[in-house]
Amino acid sequence: MQELTLELLTAKAFAPFGTVLDTDLAEKRMINEGTTERFHALATADTETEGGRTILSLFRGQPRVFPYKITMMERHPLGSQAFFPVTNRAWIAVVAEDEDGLPGPPRAFRVPGNVGVQYARNIWHHPLIAVGEPCNFLVMDREGDGTNLEEIGYPAPYVITAP
């Protein structure tokens, strides 16, 4: 088993996999007669391949038990997927580059509770990893025809020893 070290999430480090959704990095606009701050266009959905459409859902992730083994990865070839926490709890995003149609070695990012990520279309990632207690996420992804989920197991697990 190989141990994964949690990396600091930065827009540059995460760029090969998608976009960091951070209000500190967003274009800010005051709207509604100056009573509302809009963090404009945090993510742009890539979901229209093969007639797909964008949907917004609420996911409730149950906390993982650590040490936690990363035994598989998934990807969505027909659409991007954005996760934004609404419970303000830190969480973990695990991603991997593609190596000839298989996920390469994973990278794990500690994500602050007020920051989200958007996985680009066809990027290998691990399912949601909530930490400590159940966490709610707004999730923007694709609904529609076509096969939009691939799951591949690793021959040997990677482990995150502690959040």
| Residue 66 pLDDT exceeds 90 | yes
| Residue 68 pLDDT exceeds 90 | yes
* Cα(78)–Cα(110) distance, integer angstroms: 26
Task: Find, among 14, 8, 12, 11, the residue nearest to 23 by Cα.
Answer: 11
pLDDT at 17: 98
* Over residues 85-114, mean pLDDT: 97
* Cα(103)–Cα(74) distance, integer angstroms: 8
> Per-residue pLDDT tens for 21-64?
999 989 999 999 999 999 999 999 999 999 999 999 999 999 99
Whole-number percent of the chain with pLDDT over 70: 100
- Check: pTM over 0.75? Answer yes or no: yes
Mean confidence (pLDDT) of the chain:
96
According to DSSP, the residues that pair with 53 across neighbouring strands are: 143
> Per-residue pLDDT tens for 139-151?
999 999 999 999 9
pLDDT at 74: 98
| Residue 101 pLDDT exceeds 90 | yes
CA angle 91, 65, 90 (to 5 degrees): 15
* Over residues 3-25, mean pLDDT: 95
| Residue 91 pLDDT exceeds 90 | yes
Using pLDDT thresholds of 50, 70 and 90, give the confidence band for residue 1.
confident
